[in-house]
Amino acid sequence: MTSAAPQHARMSIGEVLGLLRADFPDVTISKIRYLESEGLVEPARTPSGYRKFTHTDVERLRYVLTRQRDSYYPLKRIREELSAMDRGLPPLDDDVKPVPPRIVLADDGYPAPETFAQESRTMRLSRAELLEAAGIDGDLLDQIERFGLIQRQGSKGAYDGAALVVAKTVGELADFGLEPRHLRAFKTAADREVGLVEQVVAPLMRQRDATAEARADDAVRELAALTLRLHAMLVKNGLRR
């Protein structure tokens, strides 16, 4: 979906109507207000109460109007689809609920970077969805959380893609008799590695040139890969003794 609205624009409801009318001639201001009242879009409000829409708001309206026009979906179904998309889940075209995507693992057993990076940031899973996707039971998840291996995100307490990978991995370790309480050392070691990486990256973040943030991100990714490699080799070498 594309729009002529600038990415960071703040538009009035009349301006939004003008953008949508070309593709949806029957849309009205009353229709936009109704969709807002149904919770499908949540524009910001000025101190005087005027609605201010963003590019994202316009795209959500386009999605809703397209689904109504082309698929004849009721608002309840469209609301469920938007909720799934907000949490990083792909909406399905049939009459079943959206399902969490499977974790795609590379040959070395780590999440494949080309698929995991975006999913990790956008995915928002409920407790039931995490249990199903990770293949674990509620008792094991309670233990994982109690020992600080994963944490819920946001005010709604959802789980992100990283939590899914951790939960699935801990579940597989449990098959070998390793419980979450045995894995606290991994969390402690990871926290120490985070501190080391932050020391290296901090000088880059303090620089004021336009490429500083991008170079810092690259450094974080490279350092993370190197520390994972080092950790894996130290464990392998230790087991050979």
Tens digit of each residue's pLDDT (9 = 90 or more) over 34-43: 999 989 999 9
Domains and CATH numbers, the chain: 13-86 (1.10.1660.10), 100-178 (1.10.1660), 185-241 (no CATH)
With cut-offs at 50, 70 and 90, classify the pLDDT of residue 234: confident
| 3-state DSSP assignment of residue 45 | strand
Q: For position 233, what pLDDT does the model report?
A: 86
Q: For position 122, what pLDDT does the model report?
A: 66
Is residue 241 predicted with pLDDT exceeding 80?
no
- Is residue 47 within 8 Å of 82, Cβ to Cβ? no
Give the Cβ contact number of residue 148 at 10 Å.
13
CA distance 121 to 74: 29
Tens digit of each residue's pLDDT (9 = 90 or more) over 55-87: 999 999 999 999 888 877 788 888 888 888 887
For CA atoms 54, 214, 118, 146, the dihedral sign is: negative
Task: Output the average pLDDT for the chain.
Answer: 80
Helix-strand-coil split of the chain, %, nearest 5: 60, 5, 35
Is residue 112 predicted with pLDDT exceeding 70?
no
Is residue 97 predicted with pLDDT exceeding 60?
no
* Residue (of 133, 24, 148, 150) closest to 88 by Cα position: 133
Of residues 206 and 241, which shows the higher confidence score?
206
Give the Cβ contact number of residue 66 at 10 Å.
15
Rounded to two decimals, what is the model's pTM? 0.54
CA distance 97 to 99: 6
Q: For position 110, what pLDDT does the model report?
A: 53
Which distant-in-sequence residues (6+ apart) come within 8 Å of 112 by Cβ?
Answer: 104, 105, 106
The proportion of the chain whose per-residue pLDDT surpasses 90, expressed as a percent, equals 25
Is residue 19 predicted with pLDDT exceeding 80?
yes
